[in-house]
Structure 1
Amino acid sequence: MTSPVADRGPEHLAQRAGSGDEEAPRARRRVPERLDVRPLDRFRSFKVKLAILVGVSVTVAALLTQVSIRAGIEPLLALPLVVIAALFSTQLLARGMTSPLREMTAAARAMSRGDYSAPVRATSRDEVGQLASAFSVMAAELEETDRMRRDLVANVSHELRTPVAGLRAQLENLVDGVTEPDPAALEVALNETERLSRLVDHLLDLSRLDAGVVELDLEQVELTPFLHEVVDAAALASGGRDVRWIIEVDPPDLVVDADAARLHQVIHNLLQNAARHSPAGGRIHVAAARTDRDDGVRLDVHDEGPGIAWEDRSRVFERFQRGGAADSSGGTGLGLAIARWAVGLHGGTIEVLDDPRDDTAREGRSSLIRVVLPDPPPTT
């Protein structure tokens, strides 16, 4: 049974196109191919390599000493030859044992200057080779972290600059007497202030996400009144956009164990996103029901906008990603990242599903996002 459809009258996300602040990942420098014989690389232990190195050097020195004695070569002449031969054999066998250490030293110095492209080759399987492999992984992660930091600064600066500029212009007009302080002018200033407030709230949520200090206050949430409340808030926040809100809960008395505040945040972010990208007169469906396997509750939000491309379906849940195309809808690119975090706190999943509209599905785009919250484990 389905609850009466709530049809309320008027009341995509794209990746940052870039403001020139983003830098393309630096390509790894290619090392020219050359003959590089490393006879001890097959051994997995550095201690074994040292033992072989010492043994071979001593053996070579002893054999050459014996040969020089039998050949009647003067000791003063034979000794330098024996030492040179022993050093040559040592150098030949030791080739590659410490080169990763030298490469890591050079790479670390380059990283201190912000260059993460210095190569570190790991051809051996011993402890030094494992260290070189771990160093390369660390360098790649540091490069990605540094890129994300630069992107974060650039995107936050861009997002803050837009409402601040609008608010400043409006206030300057009021102060200079260009605009009368009527309700319409004050409403513009209020909208820009609220946009700033939303961005700050999102950034605070991200800081809580990174700190991992958020705890859930689980309770049984009745979804029918809960979704009506969230839709009311989303309709108010959408600024009276010409969209229709449709709520369907099956069964009408469906409940879910969740943190009401966090779940409200998830659905509200999804609805705001849907409202921004819906065409005039479009419909936004919010549906709740038990999962097919009856092991949880699914919540679907579906709008009639252009949808998210197939290749962007996983990226849209990352920070400051907007589905691959820039827009001027006023979104921060943080809503879906925060929604994924909040859903993850509940042990649930959030994903973009194939669009039920055939024409959109054929184009590989979808406007259907599904949240699945699992049932809590039984208490014993």
Structure 2
Amino acid sequence: MTPAADGAGDAQRRVPDRLDVRPLDRFHSFKVKLGILVGASVSVAALLTQVSIRAGIQPLLALPLVVIAALVFTQLLARGMTSPLREMTGAARAMARGDYSRAVSTTSRDEVGQLASAFSTMASELEQTDRMRRDLVANVSHELRTPVTGLRAQLENLVDGVTEPDPAALEVALTETERLSQLVDHLLDLSRLDAGVVELDVEEVELTPFLHEVVDAASLASGGRDVRWIIDVEPADLAVPADAARLHQVIHNLLENAARHSPAGGRIHVSAARTEQDDGVRIDVHDEGPGIAREDRSRVFERFQRGGYADTSGGTGLGLAIARWAVGLHGGSIEVLDDPRSEHAQEGRSSLIRVMLPDTAATP
């Protein structure tokens, strides 16, 4: 069926909806509506019978007329009662074709109206899920294509003799392989997130040696970028209950993100201290990069989002999403705060990210 024909069919199906009569929408129970419908139909039939008797119409002629009039009256009321069901049927058929735009409108407050409202909510969630699925497939395909293409080109050059297998050429191939491996690891983490297969091994983590360890790992992963790392823990023996591996993943992703966007010679400051309410620990990561725009601060923690600007530095767009997930497992929060540097604060951009962890780790 062509779109025009399909649209014409929809128009034809919508024309009878103008005949919907819904005087019973004020009632909250479908059973009450059915009772009223039966009572009204019987009353109409009795009234028409009385009128036909007084008019002297023969019973053989009056009976069919009364039955037909009662059925028409019943049909009009029943049509309004079941109109949301017909709309849901049409919307379900449209959803099967991938069209989630069909709305289900109802003014009824009974069980059918509640079902229509729940159906509309479900349709909206299905549309969002389907859009996320398509975006995920498109983004994963794009992200996989980049390192695979680079790795293939490099290996083809080595095989064809265009490039000598010297350390520089092998390092390029290794970099692309590591990028591909990182993307796969991130996707596996997100699949565990969606499946809910997560366990926390909570222990007291001393932040001073822990942050130095994470910074050392991030420094190696940054590929020798010209940045300075500054660690500040107050007090020096500060500790927090957490899963060390998951917390390492959070801070490492934040530091890797900071190193990727820091200018040459820039400083990356990592600080930890107790919260002002003394009910947990805050960990701040602050770099001197361009920062995240105010309107993108919540969006950067979604999958494949990069702060609203093109990122050609090799990031997967998954690090901050995984960080938010891991922090949430601990019952904490992560957010982008206003930049303390006045020139960036005026522009609404910030590269200061704060992780808040409670004193008592949550149970996933």
Which range, TM-score by smaller chain?
over 0.9
- In 2, are the aligned partners of 1:243 and 1:280 still within 8 Å (CA)? yes
Specify which structure has the bigger relative contact order, considering alpha-carbon pairs within 8 angstroms and separated by 6 or more residues.
1
Amino acid at match of 1:366: S
| Structure 2 residue aligned with 1:195 | 179
Cα offset, 1:118, TM superposition? 1.5
| Paired position in structure 1 for 2:53 | 69
Number of residue equivalences: 349
Check if 1:333 corresponds to 2:308.
Answer: no
SS at match of 1:201: helix
Q: CA deviation at 1:333?
A: 0.8
Given that residues 40 and 94 in structure 1 are in contact (C-alpha distance below 8 angstroms), is that contact kept between their aligned partners in structure 2?
no
Q: What TM-score does the superposition give when structure 1 sets the normalisation length?
A: 0.89
Task: Say if 1:353 and 1:368, in contact at 8 Å, map to a contact too.
Answer: yes
Q: 1:60 aligns with which of 39, 44, 49?
A: 44
Is residue 243–residue 281 contact of structure 1 (8 Å, CA) maintained in 2? yes
8 Å CA contact 2:20–2:76 kept in 1: the answer is no
Q: More helix per residue: 1 or 2? A: 2
Q: Which of the residues 141, 144, 148 maps onto 2:128?
A: 144
Equivalent residue, structure 2, for 1:219:
203
CA contact (8 A) 1:122 1:130 kept: no
AA matched with 2:29: S
Counterpart in the other structure of 2:230: 246
Runs of 4+ displaced beyond 3 Å: 29-37
TM value normalised by structure 2: 0.93
Q: Aligned AA for 1:376? A: T
**1:36, distance to aligned residue in structure 2 (A):** 5.3
Listed as ranges, the matches of 1:157-236 within 5 Å are 157-236=141-220
Aligned equivalents of 1:92, 1:110: Cα separation in 2:
26
Q: State the secondary structure of the residue aligned to 1:97.
A: helix
Give how far 1:308 is off: 0.9
Corresponding letter in the other structure for 2:72: F
Please report how far the alpha carbon of residue 107 of structure 1 lies from its aligned counterpart in structure 2 after TM superposition.
Answer: 1.2
Q: Cα distance, 1:89 vs. partner?
A: 2.0
SS of alignment partner, residue 331 of structure 1: coil
| CA RMSD after TM alignment | 1.7
| Residues in 2 aligned to 1:145 and 1:322: alpha-carbon distance in whole angstroms | 21
- 1:12 alignment counterpart: none
Could you tell me how far apart the structure 2 residues matched to 1:322 and 1:84 are? Answer: 67
Give the Cα separation in 1 of the matches to 2:70 and 2:310.
66
Structure 2 gap ranges (5+): 1-9
Q: Which amino acid aligns with 2:90?
A: A
For residue 220 of structure 1, give the secondary structure of its aligned residue in structure 2: strand
Q: Aligned equivalents of 2:56 and 2:20: distance in 1?
A: 38
Q: How far off its partner does 1:360 sit?
A: 0.8
- What is the CA deviation profile of residues 185-230 of structure 1, one whole-angstrom value per residue up to 9, with x for unaligned ones? 1111000000011001101100111111211111111111111111
* CA shift for structure 1 position 35: 7.8
Equivalent residue for 1:288?
272
Aligned partner of residue 203 in structure 2, secondary structure:
strand
SS where residue 352 of structure 1 aligns?
strand
| Runs of at least 5 residues in structure 1 that lack an aligned partner in the other structure | 1-28
CA distance in 2, matches of 1:120, 1:331: 42
**2:20–2:83 Cα contact (<8 Å) kept:** no
Aligned to 2:297: 313
Counterparts of 1:360-371 in structure 2 under 5 Å?
Answer: 360-371=344-355
